[in-house]
């Protein structure tokens, strides 16, 4: 009997489950730990049962945590909650970089539910929940934190599922970021309710749960719009930074061209300068006693002013523009 107890303790410590019967476990809990314990005791805490959970603790730990097929850790560096270009990431193999086999998926869900089963077992065995020994509380927190790590790992593996469903079922009245948020919450609820013992893949169950969450969110938004009929314009919430930068760049380029024309850095002839000034309404000053035109002149109008055909004006304009382009590239953009 003593040998069996030592074997169980050794197995638990080898898996990072130590804490029972040590000096560290007798110290008082921190305020944050007390609050977490209170939340576990008073809140709703469930698990999906399995026949393996009825085994002795040492055997269950060895079967579920030691002898089980390891599950790879996901890489979530690609994740952006409000991304729209999901198809591009899928083509570059960044979405869904970790695809679990049926055996790996069953293992991680059994591990997750076993940790929650141990929390519920410790909670249900308490005679007085208002008075709990620090050793029991610390062991409960240990299993709870392990369960949260498994839950987070499962959620990170299936993040691409939420983005794919949100991209496929875009609702016109709902913002894409709100859809992703609703889908992530539905994903976490689906993880808590999924029973791996039934033999189905989690993606089958999770997709349906995410789509139902989108439907509920859409109906809720419709009811809200009925109570508050003021239209929401998503365009007002979008940044105009790129448009502003583009407009400023165009203005800077126009100023550079005007400076070249004014100083005649491109060595334009008199006729070329006159054509450019009239065609693009660029004036070097109040010379010739003429008032500036309210708008650029057409080819035909310029031709009448200088006494040539509009086709000849086009040729002069193209030659002058080529000189301006070369001067701008060589002297100003070099």
CB < 8 Å & 24+ apart, contacts of 47-53: 47/113, 47/114, 47/116, 47/117, 47/120, 48/109, 48/113, 48/193, 48/194, 48/195, 48/196, 48/197, 49/113, 49/117, 50/110, 50/113, 50/114, 50/197, 52/110, 52/114, 53/113, 53/114, 53/117
* 217 pLDDT more than 80: yes
- Predicted confidence band of residue 148 (pLDDT cuts 50, 70, 90): very high
- In-domain check, residue 178: no
What is the distance between the alpha carbons of residues 267 and 126, in angstroms, rounded to a whole number? 95
Alpha carbon distances (Å) from 57 to 4, 114, 140, 203, 265: 12, 10, 14, 30, 88
What average pLDDT score do residues 55-74 get? 83
What is the DSSP code (8-state) at residue 81? Answer: T
Domains in the chain, number: 2
Kindly state whether residues 145 and 252 are assigned to the same domain.
no
The model's pLDDT over 227-271, given as tens digits with 9 standing for 90+, comes to 776 665 666 666 677 788 888 877 877 787 788 788 887 788 888
Kindly state whether residues 103 and 249 are assigned to the same domain.
no
- Predicted confidence band of residue 93 (pLDDT cuts 50, 70, 90): very low
- Single out the residue in 114, 137, 169 at which a domain terminates: 169
- Max mean pLDDT range (81-90, 242-251, 284-293): 242-251
* 218 pLDDT more than 90: no
In this prediction, residue 166 carries a pLDDT of 85
Q: What is the mean pLDDT of the chain?
A: 78
- In-domain check, residue 22: yes
Q: Which domain holds residue 311?
A: 241-332
What percentage of residues in the chain have a pLDDT greater than 90? 17
Q: Where are the beta strands (DSSP E) in the chain?
A: none
Kindly state whether residues 131 and 248 are assigned to the same domain.
no
Kindly state whether residues 144 and 6 are assigned to the same domain.
yes
- In-domain check, residue 216: no
Kindly state whether residues 138 and 260 are assigned to the same domain.
no
In this prediction, residue 139 carries a pLDDT of 92
Kindly state whether residues 156 and 246 are assigned to the same domain.
no
Kindly state whether residues 144 and 256 are assigned to the same domain.
no
- Predicted confidence band of residue 97 (pLDDT cuts 50, 70, 90): low
What is the distance between the alpha carbons of residues 271 and 251, in angstroms, rounded to a whole number? 26
In this prediction, residue 16 carries a pLDDT of 40
Kindly state whether residues 125 and 256 are assigned to the same domain.
no
The model's pLDDT over 111-137, given as tens digits with 9 standing for 90+, comes to 999 999 999 999 988 888 778 888 999
* 140 pLDDT more than 80: yes
- Single out the residue in 134, 151, 169 at which a domain terminates: 169
- Single out the residue in 123, 148, 169 at which a domain terminates: 169
Kindly state whether residues 250 and 128 are assigned to the same domain.
no
- In-domain check, residue 50: yes
What is the domain-level CATH number for residue 323? Answer: 1.10.10.10
- In-domain check, residue 138: yes
Q: Which of 19-23, 45-49, 273-277, 293-297 has the lowest mean pLDDT?
A: 19-23
- In-domain check, residue 94: yes
Kindly state whether residues 142 and 245 are assigned to the same domain.
no
Among residues 301, 299, 328, which one has the least CA distance to residue 315? 299
In this prediction, residue 235 carries a pLDDT of 62
Kindly state whether residues 10 and 102 are assigned to the same domain.
yes
The model's pLDDT over 296-319, given as tens digits with 9 standing for 90+, comes to 888 888 888 888 898 988 898 898
Residue 196 tokens read as 């791996």
Q: How far is CA 56 from the centre of its chain?
A: 42
In this prediction, residue 202 carries a pLDDT of 92
What is the distance between the alpha carbons of residues 145 and 129, in angstroms, rounded to a whole number? 20
- In-domain check, residue 40: yes
What average pLDDT score do residues 199-215 get? 90
């Amino acid at each position: 009997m003593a040998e069996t107890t030592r074997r169980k303790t050794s197995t638990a410590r080898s898996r990072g489950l130590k804490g029972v019967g040590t000096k560290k476990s007798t110290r008082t809990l921190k305020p944050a730990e007390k609050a977490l314990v209170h939340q576990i005791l008073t809140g709703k805490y469930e698990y999906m049962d399995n026949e393996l959970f009825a085994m002795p603790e040492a055997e269950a730990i060895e079967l579920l945590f030691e002898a089980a097929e390891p599950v790879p850790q996901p890489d979530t560096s690609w994740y952006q909650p409000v991304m729209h270009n999901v198809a591009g990431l899928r083509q570059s193999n960044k979405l869904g970089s970790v695809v679990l086999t049926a055996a790996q998926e069953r293992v991680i869900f059994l591990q997750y539910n076993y940790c929650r089963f141990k929390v519920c077992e410790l909670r249900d065995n308490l005679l007085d929940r208002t008075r709990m020994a620090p050793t029991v509380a610390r062991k409960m927190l240990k299993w709870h934190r392990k369960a949260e790590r498994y839950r987070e790992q499962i959620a990170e593996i299936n993040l691409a599922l939420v983005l794919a469903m949100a991209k496929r079922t875009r609702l016109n009245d709902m913002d894409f970021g709100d859809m992703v948020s609703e889908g992530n919450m539905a994903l976490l609820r689906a993880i808590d309710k999924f029973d791996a013992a039934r033999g189905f893949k989690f993606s089958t169950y999770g997709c349906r749960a995410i789509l139902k969450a989108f439907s509920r969110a859409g109906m809720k938004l419709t009811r809200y719009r009925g109570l508050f009929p003021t239209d929401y314009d998503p365009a007002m919430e979008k940044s105009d930074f790129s448009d502003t930068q583009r407009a400023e760049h165009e203005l800077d380029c126009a100023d550079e061209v005007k400076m070249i024309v004014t100083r005649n850095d491109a060595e334009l002839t008199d006729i070329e300068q006159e054509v450019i000034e009239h065609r693009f309404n660029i004036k070097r000053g109040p010379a010739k006693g003429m008032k500036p035109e309210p708008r650029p002149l057409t080819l035909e109008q310029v031709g009448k002013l200088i006494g040539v055909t509009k086709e000849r004006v086009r040729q002069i304009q193209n030659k002058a523009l080529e000189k301006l382009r070369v001067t701008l590239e060589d002297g100003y953009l070099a």
